[in-house]
Amino acid sequence: MAKSHQSRLTVSLAGTELPELSLGAPAPIISLEKLIEPGERFFTLHFILRNEGVEVLEAISHMYFLTGQHDCPLVPVTSKNTAYKSANVYISPIEYLHQMDASRDDRERLELHDQFRLPNTLSPIPPGAVELFNVYLDNGPAPSQEAFVRGNQKFALSICTQRRPYYFPFEIQKKR
**CA torsion, points 102, 107, 113, 116, in degrees to nearest 10?**
-40
Residue-level pLDDT, tens digit, the chain, 176 residues: 344 457 789 999 989 999 999 999 999 999 877 776 656 667 788 999 999 999 999 999 999 999 876 556 667 777 655 444 445 554 555 677 778 889 999 999 999 988 999 888 999 999 999 999 888 887 665 444 444 545 678 899 999 999 999 999 999 887 65
Output the CA–CA distances (angstroms, integers) from residue 123 to 2, 20, 79, 93, 131, in the order listed.
26, 20, 22, 27, 10
- Is residue 87, in this structure, part of any structural domain at all? no
Q: Is there a domain that residue 143 lies in?
A: no
Q: Let me know if residue 91 belongs to a domain.
A: no
The number of distinct structural domains making up the chain is 1
Q: What is the C-alpha separation between 144 and 36, in angstroms, rounded?
A: 10
For residue 154, the tally of other CB atoms under 10 A from its CB is 19
Look at residue 91 in the predicted model and tell me its pLDDT.
52
Residue range(s) defining the domain that contains residue 15:
9-35+47-74+99-133+149-173
| Amino acid at the residue 67 | T
The reply to whether 125 falls in a domain is yes
Q: How many CA atoms lie within 13 A of 172 on its CB side?
A: 26
CA distance 122 to 31: 28
Distance of CA 82 to the CA centre of its chain: 23
pLDDT tens digits along 97-136: 778 889 999 999 999 988 999 888 999 999 999 999 888 8
Query: Which 8-state DSSP code applies to residue 3?
Result: P
Is 156 a domain residue?
Answer: yes
44, 6 in Cβ contact below 8 A? no
Judge whether 4 lies within some domain: no
- In a domain, residue 118? The reply is yes
pTM (2 decimals)?
A: 0.81
Establish if 128 belongs to a structural domain: yes
